[in-house]
Structure 1
Amino acid sequence: MWDRIQEKLQILSDAAKYDVSCSSSGSKRSNDSKGLGHTTGAGICHSYTEDGRCVSLLKILLTNYCIYDCAYCVSRRSNDVKRVGFTVKEAVELTINFYRRNYIEGLFLSSGIFKNSDYTMERLVRVAKTLRTEYRFNGYIHLKTIPGCSEDLVKQAALYADRLSVNIELPSENSLKVLAPEKNKTDIIRPMSYLSNSIEAYADEKKVIKSTPAFAPAGQSTQMVVGASPENDLQVMTIADALYKKYKLRRVYYSGYVPVSNDSRLPQLGTPVPMIRENRLYQADWLMRFYKFSFREIVDPAHPQLDLDIDPKLSWALRNLHLFPIDINHADYEMILRVPGIGVQSALRIIQGRRYSKLGWDQLKQMGIAVSRAKHFIVCTSKDHPRDINEAALRQRILRQSKYAATLTPQLSIF
């Protein structure tokens, strides 16, 4: 019996790795002496909380049976793979046993779609409900919302799970029609809209009625597969920006397409998306959410693709050298945030520190600023002179510095 469970676990955990919309941030589910687990404990590291702690999650599919034939998916109907599935009881017991062995702190549960959307979603909800009500499990639970399922099931899922994800899958409706013709945009957007409105309504009710139950306290997220279809980064970031603003998503995840199919519908057949493109999209996303950039400043019709050689913040600064250098002792917070080599915390330290004395290079180093990069864009005193250098020359200089630093890393790491 255990051998069979292990076989299922190997197959279904491997299939789940392609879904990256998995995060444990934003939820603090309390516990008491009679409960089991919690969302704030440190784990072995599958995901990260908002304050940077690692939290391990059991990440599995309930089944890899699927009635859909999405070209980019390893579990698609036409793929010749071994099909298995957990029962609700098996998924629950596996989660509890892994927790008791201190392997995990929570569960990320997705599934292929068997029979129909409601049938599949009902079983996902039963797993979460059993964990919460029968085992008093207070660890983190993230459920995938199945497109096309009923709002009642989405509501139940949100009452038992910390976070729900409704994957938009592809950056455009046209690509969805080509690569996933059995799915449609309406079925994806409807639960996303319902969750957005309901999360806000429950939060407002909680302010008045303290006994109001938690409703998806960690919000909702989504995932876009990048590289399986021809959209550029401008189109990807346009969709992400709209999702953040309209549906108040906590995160948009970008999954670089991994070739799992010989389907002729895929334009980049056999070519995995460079990991650096996925990384640049996350950096651009970070600039929008924490650095007060609009996506139009990062990518535009003249620059529809993110630069793979340098990060998007540096790329923006090089395209806008007329705004630099700035005086670090007088510039406003928003402009300091835009300096390459200065992060959010460093910018706040600068604002605090300059209240007491003028800041020089030594103080900036102590604040954790990457001075080797920032020095090209700031001045500290009137003795500093603006750099008379063009975009191309400065870009090459910074790239040379980065390559030199990279050659030192293996030697320095032994210390």
Structure 2
Amino acid sequence: MQWDPIQEKLEILAEAARYDVSCSSSGSKRANKSNGLGNSTGVGICHSYTEDGRCVSLLKILLTNHCIYDCAYCISRRSNDIPRAGFTVDEVVSLTINFYRRNYIEGLFLSSGIFKDADLTMERLVRVAKRLRTAERFNGYIHLKTIPGCSEELTHEAALYADRLSVNIELPTETSLKTLAPEKSHVDIMKPMAFVSENIRALASDKKIIKSTPNFAPAGQSTQMVVGASPENDLQVMSIADSLYKNYQLKRVYYSGYVPISNDNRLPVLGTPVPVIRENRLYQADWLTRFYQFSVKELVDPKNPNLDLDIDPKLSWALRNLDQFPVDVNTAPYEMILRVPGIGLNSAKKIVAARNFQKLGWEHLRKIGVAFNRAKHFVICQSSAMPKEVDARKLRAHILTQSKFGTSFSSQTSLFQ
């Protein structure tokens, strides 16, 4: 078989890119004009799911895995003995267009190790995006990694061509960053994040008045935190994420469970990766704070600094606050219905709308789409008996047993009854 250098580079640099999980559905509205190629409207990335449930994909690669930094948790650190490779700008552009024409991808996620310095690396990333947009008239999704320490001019230019930018915060605290990545600083990481946030707000205001104002990172920005490589608990991790959402209007904070890659004594023991369930619980808690009106301190606190791995954060909160249950679905405010385990955003809205026309019973909750076997322990409705006092430990054990062995969907037995 003839040796293909591009294929070899692709295998190396796609493998290196898989450790960056800061990918999401785009949320961009870059329309296809003048018979260009591609269209990012409604398109997502990274085998992720869009809001309408579609699974989408992109070409996710590093420009190079050569790096001047020696971050202990990173597979591409300079001291790691791995095959090294690097694409040219033309090669990335050609791969993207060819893969797109073959319907393999719907966009590009491009990151890079830092070679020589931050500005040179960022300049190459920007050249890829610019070439795709101008020379190839590519209107598909582009997500670029912002390189900490690069100039504001390069960050600004990147935002004009990319749909989304992301700069990884890496580790939750400055102390851990100095321990595991002493050549990096939170100042360099936060500076481009602040710059992008300020310009998104400013240009959004301008666009209301001047329609020709150019798009500037129309899908916003995201970041990633490595969880488990350093000793921070979930309270610390979630507090940092909450601050990023509020201060920098990030679209998403991604949590990447540390995968052991070396025997460095600063890191967890090789062969003991962070449980995937911890990532899942962090994402669930993140969703609750963003869309369900929970605060971080309601889900974790100094006495309980880590999320319960056995049950989801919403159920955990409910069991710690049984005095607020059961909730009457026919009279309770929307904000309280949102807090019922087993009732999602859409179901809560349907309940509030439907009860304007009739009193709701168990059969109505099923039709609305409530996770009935979970919610029945925390609500009363038209057909409910009078509630009685419930022991949190017994209810927890009962729900865990239901989850393990399964129960009949038609069952209406609630420990509140």
TM-score (norm 2): 0.95
Cα contact 2:242–2:296 (8 A) shared by 1: yes
Deviates more, 1:379-388 or 1:202-211: 379-388
Q: Which residue of 2 aligns with 1:193?
A: 194
Q: Comparing 130-139 with 377-386, which one deviates more in the overlay?
A: 377-386
1:136 to 1:333, Cα distance in 2 relative to 1, 3 A: same
Question: Which string of whole-angstrom CA distances, capped at 9 and with x for unpartnered residues, describes residues 388-414 of structure 1?
Answer: 221100000000000012999xxxxxx
How far 1:385 sits from its partner (Å)?
Answer: 1.7
Further displaced range: 383-392 or 247-256: 383-392
Structure 2: distance between partners of 1:286 and 1:276: 15
Counterpart amino acid of residue 70 in structure 2: D
Deviations 1:349-388 (A, max 9, x none): 0000000000000000000001111011110037522142
Distance of aligned partners of 1:349 and 1:79 in 2 relative to their CA distance in 1, 3 Å threshold: same
Residues 169-248 of structure 1 correspond to what in structure 2 (within 5 A)? 169-248=170-249
The alignment partner of 2:184 has SS state of coil
* d(CA) in 2 for partners of 1:148, 1:202: 23
**Conservation of the 8 A alpha-carbon contact between 1:42 and 1:54:** no
Which residue in the other structure is 1:115 paired with?
116
- Alpha carbons of 1:2 and 1:38: their partners in 2 closer, same or farther (altered >3 Å)? farther
Q: Is the 8 A contact 2:60 2:108 kept in 1?
A: yes
Give how far 1:269 is off: 3.7
Q: Is the 8 A contact 1:337 1:344 kept in 2?
A: yes
Q: Which amino acid aligns with 1:157?
A: A
Residue 70 and residue 308 in structure 1: after superposition, are their counterparts in 2 closer, same or farther (change >3 A)?
A: same
Deviations 1:150-175, CA, capped at 9 Å, x for gaps: 00000000000000001000011100
**2:165 matched residue in structure 1:** 164
Q: Measure the CA separation in 2 of the matches of 1:173 and 1:250.
A: 22
Structure 2 distance, partners of 1:299, 1:405, is: 29
Structure 2 CA distance for aligned equivalents of residues 224 and 106 of structure 1: 23
Q: Which residue identity is paired with 2:57? A: S
For residue 17 of structure 2, what is the aligned residue in structure 1?
16
2: CA distance, partners of 1:274 / 1:382: 42
Match for residue 253 of structure 1? 254
Q: Does 1:331 align with 2:338?
A: no
191-200 vs 52-61, greater mean Cα deviation = 52-61
How far 1:57 sits from its partner (Å)?
0.7
**1:385 and 2:386 equivalent?**
yes
- TM-score with structure 1 length normalisation? 0.96
Give the aligned length.
408
Q: Deviations over 1:122-176 (max 9, x none)?
A: 0000000000000000000000000000000000000000000010000111000
Provide the residue aligned with 2:135 in structure 1.
Answer: 134
Structure 2 residue aligned with 1:275? 276
Distance in 2, matches of 1:265 and 1:78, equals 15
Q: How does 1:241-320 map to 2 (within 5 A)?
A: 241-320=242-321
Match of 1:412 in 2: none
Structure 1: runs of 5+ lacking an equivalent: 409-415
SS of 1:164's equivalent in the other structure is strand
Structural mapping, 1:24-173, within 5 Å: 24-40=25-41, 46-173=47-174
Kindly provide the CA deviation profile for residues 280-325 of structure 1, in whole angstroms up to 9, marking residues without a partner as x: 0000000011101111101101110000000000000000000000
Worse-superposed segment, 269-278 or 302-311: 269-278
1:286 maps to amino acid: W
Shift in CA distance, 260/383, structure 1 to aligned 2, threshold 3 Å: closer
| In structure 2, C-alpha distance between the alignment counterparts of 1:160 and 1:171, rounded to whole Å | 29
Give the distance between the partners of 1:376 and 1:43, measured in 2 at CA.
Answer: 37
Distance verdict in 2 for CA 1:398–1:3, change over 3 Å: same
Deviation at 1:50, TM superposition (A): 3.2
Q: Distance in 1 between matches of 2:274 and 2:345?
A: 30
Between 1:155-164 and 1:40-49, the stretch displaced more is 40-49
Distance 2:313 2:407 in 1: 19
Structure 2 CA distance for aligned equivalents of residues 68 and 237 of structure 1: 27
Q: After alignment, is 265-274 or 227-236 more displaced?
A: 265-274
Identical columns (%): 73
Q: Counterpart of 2:194 in structure 1: which amino acid?
A: S
- Alpha-carbon distance between aligned partners in 2 of 1:206 and 1:135, rounded to the nearest angstrom: 26
**Which stretch of structure 1 is more off in the superposition, 264-273 or 352-361?**
264-273
Give, in angstroms, the shift of residue 2 of structure 1: 7.2
CA distance in 2, matches of 1:332, 1:148: 48
Note if contact 1:36-1:135 (Cα within 8 Å) is conserved in structure 2. Answer: yes
**SS of the residue aligned with 2:226?**
strand
For 1:136 and 1:293, the matched residues in 2 are separated by 43
Aligned counterparts of 1:250 and 1:406: Cα–Cα separation in 2: 38
In 2 relative to 1, CA 260–376 (structure 1 residues): closer, same or farther, beyond 3 Å? same
Alignment correspondent of 2:415: none
Deviation at 1:44?
9.4
AA in 2 matched with 1:259: P
